[in-house]
Amino acid sequence: MSTVDSTVEGEQEEPQNALTKKFTEAEWAALKGFRSILPSVIAEGYRDDPDRTDADTKPVKLWGVDIDPSNPIDARVSVVLMKFLRARNLSIPEAKDMLVSTLRWRESFKVEEALQEEFPEDIFGQLGYIYGHDKEGRPVVYNLYGANKDLDAVFGDVNRFLRWRVAFMEKSIALLDFETIDQMVQIHDYDGVGFSSRTPNSKNAASEASSIFQGHYPELLSRKFFINVPSFLSWVFWIFKPLISSATLAKMSVVGSGKRAIGQALLPVIDADQLPKRYGGEADAF
């Protein structure tokens, strides 16, 4: 799809960055419509917060970007709002519902407080790493599901696990500048995951985490690789394949096990000096 000049005679000049310059004509039209209702959208998002009676005029921070509902014409704000529009096929009413839901969830979940929490290093320290970047400069985020065999420690308190997982996601997003980079690469490593890993708590945690990320973190992934997937889990991907949009499915890859197979899948995306040796690269990392 072609990109267009977003300004016409009589309109305020549109601030641009490398990402907004890629917006299509249809995206600009949807964005301008979305921005026109932004004060009411944000007011609705904080409707139940007695301390936010001025939400329709007071800037709100989302992923490090200040969104001023009374003056949202800002390149980084445009990039953030476009994520909600793209996630809902440029439907303004549906993007509105998603943003309202996200603002309410962030308040009830207390995301900013989760970021300040201290989580036990012996329990969560090896479950997630942010290391290097792909060939386009996107950060690469690793989730190692089998790194801690003490499932009671990891999932015994599902809420604590979710707060750690959300905080980890927020720290990953903090590496996006929304000027040139607005997505990350995720690698989900299932090495060490067995039948015993499928406990009621772990399944509940996985389900809730999936719901959170699908509902409140739109269009933040460039690619997602599932590696070292045990055979007893691989069928799950085939079952859910018909339920996944073609756009999302295009970002996902299920990779085999071993350095060679993993390297063949990851090295076209991540340079060898940015990829850990355990995955077929050259980097001395975790």
Concatenate the DSSP letters of all residues of 39-75 into one string: HHHHHHHTTT-TT-TTTTTS-EEETTEEE-TT----H
Superfamily name with CATH number, domain 115-279: CRAL-TRIO lipid binding domain (3.40.525.10)
pLDDT at 241: 64
Domain ranges in the chain are 20-109, 115-279
Instruction: Measure Cα distances from 230 to 155, 190, 191, 276 in Å.
Output: 20, 7, 8, 21
Q: What is the pLDDT of residue 247?
A: 74
d(CA 121, CA 124): 5
pTM: 0.91
pLDDT along the chain (286 residues), means of 10: 48 90 98 97 93 89 96 97 97 98 97 97 97 98 94 95 98 98 96 81 92 95 92 65 70 89 97 97 96
Residues 6+ apart with CB under 8 A from 137: 180, 181
User: What span, in angstroms and rounded, lies between the C-alpha atoms of 177 and 164?
Assistant: 23
> Could you say which DSSP state residue 81 is in?
H
32 contact partners, CB below 8 Å, separation of at least 6: none
122 CB-contact burial (10 Å; exposed 0-12 / middle 13-18 / buried 19+): exposed
Is-contact 204 160, C-beta < 8 A? no
Distance CA 179, CA 66 (A): 14
